[in-house]
A and B are shown apart, each in its own frame.
Chain A
Amino acid sequence: MPIQYYIILSLALFCIGIVGVLVRRNAIIIFMCIELMLNAVNLLLVAFSKMQYNTAVIANKATTVGAEGQLFVFFIMVVAAAEVSVGLAIIVMMFRNTHSIDVNFLNRLKN
């Protein structure tokens, strides 16, 4: 498959994520949309990595080109997991105090 398909798919997922963050008002859903953005990036990185490998392998059979792209994906996953643990803790903390996870509820600081 040409790389353009992957780019378009990833950008589409990424945009769905961005729109979700901007439009939805439920903290958990916003959070899921952010995860969607990160996973779109993962998909794109893997696709690019494979693309780099496919071009390099013609010249040299034992090439490792493209490995770092896939390694990066693991780092994103680890960091995303760390972020989830902190983020869910923050959401739970807020829920304990307000009994709601609606971000519209969050306007005390405005005035």
Chain B
Amino acid sequence: MNAIILSALGGIVMMFTGIFTQNKIVIKNIAIITLLLLLIGNLLHFYGIYMLHVDVKDMLQFNNFGLFFNTIAFTSTLIYFLLSGTDITKVGINVAEYFALIFFVLCGVSILTSFHNLLMLFLGIEILSIPLYILTGADKKNLKSNEAALKYFLMGSFSTGILLMGIALLYGASGNFSIESVPSTTSKVAEMANSSILTPLGLLFVFVALLFKVSAAPFHFWVPDVYDGAPSVFTSFMATIAKAVGFIAFIFLFESRIAELGPSSRIIIPFVIILTLLIGNITAVFQQSVKRMLAYSSIAQAGFMLFVLYSNNDISSEGILLYSVAYSFATIGIFAILIKMKDYTFEGYNGLAKKEPLIAAANTIFLLSLAGIPLTAGFFAKYYMLLSAIKANGQNALWLVIVAVLFAAVSVYYYFRVIQAMYFKEGNPEIATTNTSFKVILLALAAIIIFIGLFPTVVLNFLYF
């Protein structure tokens, strides 16, 4: 509850800040302080300290899993503000509003990590998405940004329509909006509505809509264009925090109900996973722009995160948290460096190691983590996801795990292309001047990624204390 209230208040505070001051540094610092308060408020919830005691009528339920994801999301946002805060202020003139919109996205995130009712799922997704449409189009004079915003908006509201249809059908079958499958109050209703069709159909609609939101194939087509067209700072935010929370919504919704999707669910989910991995990885290989490559790589990473639906057990829940940490931290770091570059193509990175050895080293660690090389957080994230599949289905899951590992090997190719450009090619990369604090935070982030890669249980222990 703290997180929802504080993030909404944080958004309002930022909007008022925009009235009283135009100083970009002041606005940025206020945003960082507000975010710190939000983070503390969320941590207090762990210890049972609430701001308000609201009777939520069981529409929201707070558990350690959701609160822990909130903490991850807020920490990632804090790192994002520290690294790219200055670049956010350079996108346009309405600086305070960008921060306000980010706080509203975080409000959506906190609702999605605690919903226990389909109404809250719907509101959470909308509160998350609508500010993102605006942020995508923040660069008003840039045609690419306009185009990305329009595409994102049309695709987003289209998937909302599908989600709502699913919710309506589920309501028809059960007579309430609870996410648990409660048998209808009167059996006669169930008979009349022929709920044997309504429930699987409704779940399928919701499933498809959520696949849209987490950018899984075959509903991924908007992702490359939107991520490419949006201002780079906001792509960084969209591709990490706003995306990972979709999987949390998935877990809450399908934990108990995945079987109700019908016997076909055992075929659909592996199919979606393989298609996502295939399209994400293979297309990423052919990209010339690092930004677009990262967009496809985010589809590929979503393929790994989808294992949480396949295995649906304790290890996969731990794995998705670890994956969110590893993926968000690394992607935020890579984007923070990308924003500073003049040229977004692979050639633009040529010779970066000679000019900026520290930045190149940090970038290498982030890329290694995304590729899942041991000693980085990304390795254990992938390991947990694959382990969960084996634990859930034993021998039957083996082929899926092998396919996933093969695609992870493909991903090494395009991540290492950036490393190769930085270290083994001659060139004079144009990079904006960076101050010392930027480099320090970047190296600290790299250190955290290696630390999690060595001791992943340190992160996961938070879940059980």
Interface of A with B (CB < 8 Å)? 2-3, 7, 10, 14, 17-18, 21, 27, 30-31, 34, 37-38, 40-41, 44-45, 48-49, 51-52, 55-56, 59, 65-66, 68-69, 72, 75-76, 79, 82-83, 86-87, 90-91, 93-94, 97-98, 103, 106, 108-110
Contact = CB atoms under 8 A, between A and B. Distances in A.
Max chain A C-beta neighbours (<10 A), residue from B133, B134, B146, B177: B146
A40 B153 CA distance: 20
Max chain B C-beta neighbours (<10 A), residue from A75, A86, A110: A86
Given A14-B161, A79-B122, 9 more contacts: A31-B154, A41-B168, A55-B186, A82-B130, A86-B153, A87-B157, A94-B146, A97-B141, A106-B150
B144 interface: yes
Nearest to A84: B157
B119 A72 contact: yes
Interface size range on B against A = 35 or more
Contacts of B229: 109
Max chain A C-beta neighbours (<10 A), residue from B164, B167, B169: B164
Contact of A108 (B143, B154, B157, B192): B143
A82 B133 contact: no
5 contacts: A44-B168, A87-B153, A91-B150, A109-B144, A109-B224
B130 A69 contact: no
B161 A82 contact: no
Contacts of A91: 150
A52 B153 contact: no
Contact of B189 (A31, A55, A82): A55
B143 A97 contact: yes
Contacts of B141: 97
B168 to A, nearest CB: 4
Interface in B130-162: 130, 133-134, 137, 140-141, 143-144, 146-151, 153-154, 157-158, 160-162
Nearest to A82: B130
B264 interface: no
B87 interface: no
Nearest to B143: A97
A93 B149 contact: yes
A55 B188 contact: yes
B259 interface: no
B177 A68 contact: yes
A27 B154 contact: yes
Interface in B67-114: none
A20 B162 CA distance: 14
Nearest to B125: A79
A104 B70 CA distance: 40
B347 interface: no
B112 to A, nearest CB: 15
A98 B144 CA distance: 11
Contact of A34 (B144, B157, B168, B177): B157
A68 B167 CA distance: 13
Contacts of B265: none
A98 B143 contact: yes
Contacts of A76: 122, 164
B228 interface: yes
B172 A44 contact: yes
B153 A109 contact: no
B150 A79 contact: no
Instruction: In the A-B complex, list the 3 residue pairs whose CB atoms are closest, starting with the nearest.
Output: A37-B161, A48-B172, A41-B164
B126 A82 contact: yes
B165 interface: yes
Contact of B149 (A31, A65, A90): A90
A86 B126 CA distance: 12
A38 B161 contact: yes
B126 A90 contact: no
A90 B168 contact: no
B172 A34 contact: no
Contacts of A7: 172, 193
Contacts of A52: 175, 185, 189
B225 interface: yes
A106 B151 contact: yes
Contact of B158 (A34, A72, A93): A34
Max chain B C-beta neighbours (<10 A), residue from A30, A55, A56: A55
B126 A110 contact: no
Given A52-B189, A83-B126, A72 B177 contact: yes
